[in-house]
Structure 1
Amino acid sequence: MQTNILNILFCSIFILLPVVFLNAQEIETNEEEGIKIEAERDSLVSVGNNLPLAETIKLTDSVMGDTLKPRQGNQIITDIVSYKAKDYMRLSQKENRMFLYNEAEITYGDIQINAGLIVIDNKKNEVYAYGIPDSTGAYSQTPVFVQGNQTVEPDSIRFNFDTERALVYNSRTQQASFNVKGEVTKRENDSVYFMKNVKFTTDDDLENPDYFFYARKIKFVPDKKIVAGLVNMYLADVPTPLGLPFGYFPMTEEKTSGFIIPSFGDSQRGYFLQNGGYYFAISDYVDLLALGDYYTNGSYAFRGESNYAKRYRYRGNVRIRYENLYQSERGFPDFSEQSVYNIQWSHSQDSKASPNSRFNASVNLGSSTYYQESVNQMNTGNFLTNTLNSSVSYSKTFPGDPQVNLSLTARHSQNTRTKTINMTLPTLQASMSRIYPFEPKTGAKKGIIENINFQYNLRAENQIKTTDSLFFTSQMFKDANYGAQHSIPVSTNFKLFNYLSVSTNANYEENWVFKTFDQRYDEFNDEVVIDTINGFDSYRTYSFSAGIGTTIYGLKNFGKDKKIQAIRHVMRPNISYNVNPGFNQYYDTYERVNPANPIETNMVDYSRFDGTLYGAPGRNFASSIGLSISNTLEAKVRSKDSTATEPEKITLLNNFSMSTSYNLAAEEDQPKLSPIALRGSIPIVKDKLDINVAGNLDIYALDNNNRRTTKLNINNGGSLFRFTNANVSFGYSFSSKDFEDEKDENDDEIDNDTYRGGGRKDDLFGKGTNLDGEFYDNEEDPFADREGEKRNDNWYNYKIPWDLRLSYTMTYNNTARQNEITSHSIMFSGDVELSPKWAVGASSGYDLKEMGFTYTQLRFQRDLNTWRLSFNWVPFSAQRSWNFFIGIKSSILSDIKYDKRRERDRSL
């Protein structure tokens, strides 16, 4: 009925129109006036199943005219125009127009237009495109204008073939991260557009965005920029006072250089501007980020960061940070000044780049107090650790027979509590592969002679021990200790009685040093004087060892109808003998007055090699027998899978070992048997949870000074074994992905900022965040699924993503009758997505010995579609702080944000 009423009304209007208007339809329109095209389809025009007459379309055309003036004179189309339509293709000779209806398409060069209705004006060389209503009356098949990689979806189009200019109404297009909608668009050419009444946003829903920028006039250059006049920001269609007299928005997908707007706020050092600077897009392989901070109390900071990469070759990044910090204000009694710095460098070489050489770097060095004092880093895992480590290494293999391996390494270890630094600059290592001089030309090696082999190893290094205050000064190198060590190990192995494996080893070492220390006693000052003697010196040592071992298998079958079908016990006993001669020739003596009796003198033994790179050789003859046995217990159980044809093998006890040694050369007043060491692991969850246990048992008793004696503990009123120390620990990590078929693991050290800074790979100490409150491990999008696509906004039915990491450790000590648990703690960290838009997490622990919580961090994240909200809170401890952040997720508009934080109290 509704359709009939509209048709009756439509016909009535035409009957009542004056005849002059009806005749006017036969008169040709003025070329200068053009065809009127409105922004939206005229509701009076009904495009039904039949194509309307050319005259009717000409009068009621819904596209408004524009200011484009057609070229004068005869124009010709320079390319082939191809067209097609599903229902009609009708030519009106009177108007010299072609009408295409239903799934119409026209192609001209690299330009393609698809629409429900297309009108081609051959006289003006113009084309008009509109949508049509479908069977339900809804406006469908709206025009789609495509040129190259640019796509525009308007309500209507007017395009001129000669000038290649166009007028587009209610156009919608996507450029870079922006979605753009303009009421009227004037296409000047394929690279410049002028638009009127424009909305642009990064929201995918262009019709109902979370926010958008509104501009009355803009100039739009695809893939390059948007230049706008007065710009206002709207939130949920509500205008805000945020506006700019003009706007410039880069649109390129490529990296471009540009300024970085700083963030502002207030802190203990006054008002500040943070992270302002410039980004240099140097090339496709390297970039540079230069940032700076300034505080009103005079503090300032500089940071430089550079990333570089070359596909299939290498990648890495460099970070240099310097901060000059003032506490309080000048003139106040609590005023202080300090400078801190930090240098980080990570370099990783692709394994395909060079099969015979490799270069890697992982550097983290600087001021010992940097992570504790820096005001511009939120990496919790760093300031909870007290060591900084660095390593730069290059290795190369020279193929051949024998093969030679060469490596050059520089290492650095820094204790931020004691402020001591140990470095090796550098360490050179060279080794030659094993040579079998008596091996047969064909066949396997057999017997003691054919298995004789030797190799050569060289280790040369320069060790430096210094402090934080002397780092990078000339004094740091004056106390360097350097030398070289050569070793030639000779070994062989053979079978004895077909069941025993015998191995023997002899090792020759020669140590070169370039600095020795002579000692003498100064009677006048009553002190030992150590004189440093520069010059080459060396000493040589040798040792011998032999071992015999075997493997014993035990199997107990219970039957295939049982749940536990069989148990297998594997034992690997081993007996070894070691002998190390004494090298008295490298020892000297000096005479010293006995402090207890000044009349007497004592002879003091020393070696000039004490304090050298590899220390002095052993003076006393050593001979010992080592005993060890390892056990593995496995079981075959009936599989829970009814379709499985083979039983399942599980491990009950993994590599549980006992070891000790007996010193044959010990003196009578010294205990001969060392404590019995117990080591092993108990599997609880296959490939997920193993409980590691370790402990020591001693058969000897202690004297009144808590020193080991030769008296057995059982003869001293105690038990057979005295439990000296023990440790139990385990770590367990599981998540909702463990119950799915696919697993995603990412353990790339070069991208793990917390680990590179000295923290843990996991987040048991809390997740590290950047200054925007964004966690390092989910900078992409924490609410994206494994394929990187957005999840839908529906509520979870039963699969809620979650993860949990646990760590437990307990240490017991009784070496000197302490009989106490020295450490006992459990730590955990987990995250859960309560909904597709909410994620919460926590990292904490509990010290069971001190009865208190360890460092605790609470995390909250909210996905606001185009915005991101996060709140990071440390509720207690000296690091108590919080950080609130809300901002646009798109990197193009990352400067539109609000963050507020409470820094930890550094006066503590």
Structure 2
Amino acid sequence: MFELQKLSQTSTKIGFIKLQTNKHPFLLVLLFALLAQYLTAQEKPLVPLPIKAVGDTLNPPLLPPNILNDSIGKKDSINLDSTNTKNSMLVDIIDYKAKDYVKLSQKDQKIYLYNEAEIKYQDTELKAGIIVMDYTKNEVYAGRIKDSTGTYTQTPYFKQGDNVVIPDSIRFNFDTKKALIWNSRTEQQAGLGSLGSDAMKVLASITKKENDSVYFLKDGKMTTSKDTVDPDYFIKIRKAKFVPGKKIIAGFSNMYLVDVPTPIAVPFAYFPLTTGRTAGLIFPTFTQDPNRGFSLQNGGYYLPISDYVDLSVMGDFFTNGSYGIRTQSIYAKRYKFRGNVNFRFENQITSQKGFSDYRRSTLYNLQISHSQDAKANPNSRFSASVNLGSSQYYTNSFNQINVQNTQNNNLSSSISYSKTFPEYPSVNLNLTASHNQNTQTQQVNLTLPTFQGSMERIFPFAKRDGIKKGIIQNVNFQYNVRAENRITTTDSLMFRKGMFENAQIGARHTLPISTNFKVAKYFSVTLGGNYEDVWTFETYKRGLDPDDPTSNSEVVLDTIEGFDRFNKYGLSASIGTTVYGTFPFGEDKKIQAIRHVMRPQVSWSYTPSFEQFYDTYVDYSGQTQQYTRFQGIAVGSVPSLNRANVLGFSLQNTLEAKVRDKDSTKLEPKKISLLSNLNFSTSYNMEADSLKLSPINMNGGTSFFDKKLTLNFSGSLDPYTIDNNGRRINTLNVKNGGSLLRLTRASMNMRYSLSNETFKKKDGKKDEDRAEEASDYYRAASGGRTDDLFGAGFDQSQYQRREDDGEDIENPVYGTKIPWDLNIQFAMGYLNSNRQNQVNTASLMFSGNVQLSPRWDLGLSSGYDFVNKGFAQTQFRFSRQLKSFDLRFNWVPFGRNERWDFFIGISSSILSDLKYDKRSQRILR
């Protein structure tokens, strides 16, 4: 009995298999291998099989032909349509290689790569000692190999995109992108920059890669230490979720120091790993103030507002109610501008309310800095440099970062906008608001604003592009104007209504005319005149008190509101030359020659008397006194009552020496400045009734020891004597039994800087360049000193530095290198105007630093006042770099700013909040 069954088709049906884009080229290698084997088999001779052909008892077809055609032909026609092209299986080429061998095993369906094996596919790169590929599962395994000594070498290096993992072994699936990683080590950049010290190293015994952006860690470690095999510290995490470049979310975590657990632990932790500017908390420092109680200082929040602007808000809070707030905003736009705005406010409370020693005061300080790039607009420029606030802010501030500015006695500010109109004649306009504040007297001088305008020089008798010759063609003039709104007040009235009560407004116009020419080839002659017109909106009348004119009362000032003006003019002339003198000693001498350059000049000026601007009043003794109503106006000097016909004399000197260079290969001698400048000036008034000769003013400066020692000095020599009351009289001092000239005042300032590099051979870079770089690094944004003569403030951001790798330090056992530096500054003032013969000022300031070892620094800054017999602010400081940690201690042992601070914390900015910071506060006396 026969059973019917479906007849097998005798035709071959060709189906197109959909090629997968996530398959990899090793499948293509297998396909080529099978195809080669098949083609080889086709070339062999055909051997007929001894099987008898038997015909099929079934008569085809069981299915109708139209059904066969529909089921086969229609599908094939669609697949062969040129408009429906399928993607290829491979989207990129797999590159693989190995040093010893590459083995293809068809039996195991694997490829073996041994010794310096590498695989590259798209954004995935794998290097290891041994690599095994399973092309059926699309998996790869990589591990280490042993060298001849039995040591494991060629640790796998796995990189996908920007993420790099260095494990002991790894198993990775190309399809799912999942991986199992044993003993992985990866480095993540975090923070504002990409410095090596800001790299977080993440280590884990087992890591599971879920996808391109998520990893799961077990028994992990996090550290910023350079040594990942034996780190000096790490944070141990039991389980964690790791998103490269973004964050680590961990369970129970605690800190280990040299493999020893510490009590520093948290039940869960979040570690941000984002690069660039990211909003976040700024952790405070716990301190104790003997006057204000416990406190949290320097805590706050950082907010990046945009790509160009950020904002930091920090505060200090004390248990007695005192608090301080500081905001800082930095902004910058490339090729346009950059700057910052800082505002600091402190509400200081001493003791408790109800006690007799209770005090409350408020202090503030505002700093603004803005600079415009020269490329932004060549004809328009805006700049600002502001430093204003309470006069006692730096001296009374309870924050340690202001220590180095406690000796700053002056605050100044300037905000200006300038505009240039380049068409001939070009005009420059400038609008400025300025501020100057004396922190000792608390007096504040403001100009809100100052307007200045100037027109370029015009030569009316010469062509613009021609050469100007002679007295006529060199005649030129220009126009200048200066207008001010001047305010004099105190810091207690700043930004209050009474601040503007004494405002003065005025303008000064000047029109200088001059010409110059040569006489006898070597003498330069200048002739000129000047016209000045002054406008004011306020003048002052003087007189006696009308209610009591007979008493010894003071002169009463009566302010007269309204526009008023005066003008004055004068003539001037000068003649000068340059005289060179060389004194040779011979080319075989060490000092070959000395060169003396003198620039003498004789000048003349004439100013008439302007009696028309003077008034009179009768004082209490019946004598008539003259005065001008323009005394004390905002701009310009008052018109002179006496005619002046003055001859002026000046002499400038420089002294240089040519010495033989120590380097015998140099042919030219070396020039050394013996006297940078030595200047003398005096004048003789031919119209004066007495005291016609003015004191001789002198100033000069020089440097020694390759500009390590700089010396500046000045003085005044008076030819006249004084009476018993200390007033100058019309008698020459030499005729009164004294010297030819009487020294009335003198001052000297000396500075000496040296270091261990001073006595070494030069490396081609000038020391002054190094000094300039150092001053740029230590430059104080608040307008204080740029060096550490007054000590260094304690600001964590200033001390953030690169982590020490412990390898590149040059410190041999023999011939140990100990870097050091020393800065000394001495200032002295002498006063003898009334025969007091007194040294009124004499102080010595010094600061020094020494590096006892490559990671140990000591520093000291102090000074002594020889007149007041007391020490200036003294500070001891030392720091120790403990590889991944920084340790610092600063101490001001005595004085108004007596305090200390101690810090130990991680150097890297990523974990900078892991620290111990203990500091005292200034003790109020």
- Name the TM-score class by shorter chain: 0.7 to 0.9
Q: Are 1:115 and 1:144, in contact at CA under 8 Å, matched by a contact in 2?
A: yes
The 8 Å contact of residues 779 and 785 in structure 2, kept in 1 or not, is answered as yes
Separation in 1, partners of 2:742, 2:414? 42
Give the 3 Å change call, closer, same or farther, for CA 386–557 of structure 1 in structure 2.
closer
- CA-CA distance at 1:818 after TM superposition: 0.7
| 2:224 is equivalent to residue 202 of structure 1 | yes
Query: Which whole-Å CA distance do the structure 1 matches of 2:239 and 2:664 have between them?
Result: 71
Indicate the residue corresponding to 1:279 in structure 2: 302
Partner amino acid, structure 2, of 1:705: N
* 1:116 counterpart letter in structure 2: G
Are 1:837 and 2:855 matched, yes or no?
yes
Q: Tell me how far apart the structure 2 counterparts of residues 323 and 853 of structure 1 sit (CA, whole Å).
A: 29
What's the counterpart of residue 602 of structure 1? 623
- Counterpart of 2:325 in structure 1: which amino acid? F
What secondary structure sits across from 1:522 in the alignment?
Answer: coil
What residue number does 1:720 align with? Answer: 740
Cα pair 1:166 1:187 within 8 Å, conserved: yes
1:732/1:749 CA distance change after superposition, 3 Å:
closer
> 1:752 offset after TM fit, Å?
6.9
Q: 1:440 to 1:311 in 2, by over 3 A?
A: closer
- Please give the secondary structure, in 1, of the residue aligned with 2:305: coil
Distance, in Å, in 2 between the alignment partners of 1:379 and 1:471 is 22
8 Å Cα contact 1:783-1:836 kept in structure 2: no
Say if 1:406 and 1:430, in contact at 8 Å, map to a contact too.
Answer: yes
Q: CA shift at 1:703, angstroms?
A: 0.7
Shift of 1:781: 4.9
C-alpha distance in structure 2 between counterparts of 1:781 and 1:876, whole Å:
33
Going from structure 1 to structure 2, the CA distance change for 1:664 and 1:493 (only over 3 Å counts) comes to same
Residue equivalent to 2:576 = 549
The match for 1:88 is 101
What amino acid does structure 2 have at the position aligned with 1:146? K
Show CA shifts across 1:141-199 (max 9, x none).
Answer: 11111111111010111111211110000000001221011000100111100010000
Q: Indicate if the aligned counterparts of 2:477 and 2:514 stay in contact, CA closer than 8 A.
A: yes
Question: 2:430 and 2:757 mapped to 1: Cα distance?
Answer: 41
**Consecutive unaligned residues in structure 2, runs of 5 or more:** 1-87, 190-198
SS in 2 for 1:891: coil
Taking only the aligned residue pairs, the percentage that are identical comes to 54
- How far 1:682 sits from its partner (Å)? 3.2
Distance 1:388 1:602, change over 3 A: same
**Cα drift, residue 263 of structure 1:** 1.8
Amino acid at match of 1:871: F
Q: C-alpha separation between the residues in 1 aligned to 2:598 and 2:778?
A: 44
Contact 1:382 1:754 in 2 (8 A): no
Q: Distance in 1 between matches of 2:319 and 2:289?
A: 10
Residue identity opposite 2:122 in structure 1: G
Worse overlay, 884-893 or 522-531: 522-531
Aligned letter for 2:753? S
Alignment correspondent of 1:590: 617
Shift of 1:205: 0.7
Q: Is the aligned partner of 1:697 residue 2:724?
A: no
CA distance in 2, matches of 1:796, 1:439: 75
Aligned positions of 1:109-148 closer than 5 A: 109-148=122-161
**Equivalent AA in structure 1 for residue 178 of structure 2:** R
Alignment of 1:723-742 (within 5 A): 723-737=743-757, 739=760, 740-741=762-763, 742=765
User: Pairwise mapping of residues 340-351 of structure 1 onto structure 2 (< 5 A)?
Assistant: 340-351=363-374
- The match for 1:682 is 702
Cα separation, partners in 2 of 1:262 and 1:631, compared to 1, 3 Å:
closer
Deviation of residue 858 (structure 1)? 1.4
Decide which moves more: 872-881 or 437-446: 437-446
The 8 Å contact of residues 906 and 912 in structure 2, kept in 1 or not, is answered as yes
Q: Give how far 1:605 is off.
A: 2.1
Of 551-560 and 470-479, deviating more is 551-560
Q: Once the 2 structures are TM-superposed, how far is the Cα of residue 745 of structure 1 from its aligned partner?
A: 4.1
The aligned residue for residue 298 of structure 1 is 321
Q: Distance in 1 between matches of 2:324 and 2:655?
A: 59
1:644 is the counterpart of 2:666: yes
Q: Distance in 2 between matches of 1:765 and 1:635?
A: 37
The question of whether the paired residues in 2 share the 8 Å contact of 1:77 and 1:162 is answered with: no
Q: CA deviation at 1:737?
A: 4.8
Q: 1:867 corresponds to which residue?
A: 885
1:529-573 deviation per Cα after TM superposition (whole angstroms, max 9, x unaligned): 433222211111111111111112222223222222222222211
Instruction: Select which of 427, 451, 456 maps to 1:428.
Output: 451
SS in 1 for 2:735: helix
Aligned residue for 2:58? none
* Aligned residue in 1 for 2:349: 326
Moved more, 540-549 or 745-754: 745-754
Residue equivalent to 1:216: 238
Partner in structure 2 of residue 762 of structure 1:
787
Residue 378 of structure 1 aligns to a residue whose secondary structure is helix
Kindly state the Cα deviation for residue 866 of structure 1 after the two structures are TM-superposed: 0.9
User: 1:239 Cα shift?
Assistant: 0.5
Larger CA deviation: 636-645 vs 184-193 = 636-645
Partner in structure 2 of residue 530 of structure 1: 557
Alpha-carbon spacing, 1:688–1:749, altered in 2? closer, same or farther (3 Å)? closer
Q: Is the 8 A contact 2:432 2:450 kept in 1?
A: yes
What is the SS of the residue equivalent to 1:476? helix
Task: Tell me the residue number matched to 1:29.
Answer: none
Corresponding letter in the other structure for 1:605: Q
Partner of 2:17: none
1:467 CA displacement: 1.2
Does the residue aligned with 2:102 lie in a helix, a strand or coil? strand
| Equivalent in the alignment of 1:241 | 263
Once residues 778 and 118 of structure 2 are traced to their aligned partners in structure 1, the CA distance between those partners, rounded to angstroms, is 53
Give SS of 2:445's match: strand
Give the number of the structure whose alpha-carbon radius of gyration is greater: 2
Provide the rounded CA distance (Å) in 2 between the counterparts of 1:682 and 1:790: 41
The structural deviation recorded for 1:589 is 2.0
Q: Which amino acid aligns with 1:735?
A: S
Distance across 2 between alignment mates of 1:886 and 1:151 = 32
Q: Which of 232, 235, 253 is the equivalent residue of 2:254?
A: 232
Superposed, which structure 2 residues align to 1:330-729 within 5 Å?
330-440=353-463, 443-526=466-549, 528-594=555-621, 601-614=622-635, 615-667=637-689, 670-729=690-749
Q: Give the aligned residue type for 2:242.
A: F
Pairwise CA distance, 1:267: 1.1
Task: Decide which moves more: 399-408 or 237-246.
Answer: 399-408
Residue equivalent to 1:20: none
In structure 2, relative to structure 1, the CA distance for the partners of 1:882 and 1:784 (3 Å cut) is farther
CA contact (8 A) 1:281 1:287 kept: yes
Find the aligned partners of 2:212 and 2:264 in 1 and give their Cα distance.
Answer: 33
Change (3 A) 1:750 1:323: farther
Query: Could you tell me which residue of structure 2 aligns to residue 40 of structure 1?
Result: none
Aligned Cα root-mean-square deviation (Å): 2.3
Quick one: which amino acid aligns to residue 185 of structure 2? R
Q: Which amino acid aligns with 2:629?
A: R
> Cα offset for 1:440?
4.3
Structure-2 change in CA distance of 1:602 and 1:630 (3 Å):
same
**Residues 133 and 139 of structure 2 are in contact (CA less than 8 Å); yes or no, is this contact kept in structure 1?**
yes
- Cα offset, 1:804, TM superposition: 2.3
**Could you list the per-position Cα deviations for residues 787-829 of structure 1 after superposition, in whole angstroms to 9, with x for gaps in the alignment?**
xx96467669454333222212222211110112112222222
1:340-399 CA-to-partner distances (Å, cap 9, x unmatched) read 111111112223333223222111111122112221243233211222111112222221
User: CA–CA distance in 2 between the matches of 1:892 and 1:428?
Assistant: 49
Q: Equivalents in 2 of 1:449, 1:495: separation in Å?
A: 12
Q: Does 1:105 align with 2:118?
A: yes
888, 900, 907: which is aligned to 2:918?
A: 900
Shift of 1:883: 0.9
Q: Which AA in structure 1 matches 2:591?
A: I
SS at match of 2:623: strand
- Report the number of matched residues: 818
How far is the alpha carbon of 1:76 from its aligned partner? 7.5
2:699 touches 2:714 (CA, 8 Å); kept in 1? yes
Q: Which moved more, 1:487-496 or 1:616-625?
A: 616-625
Shift of 1:287: 0.5
Larger mean Cα displacement after TM superposition, 252-261 or 217-226: 252-261
The match for 2:38 is none
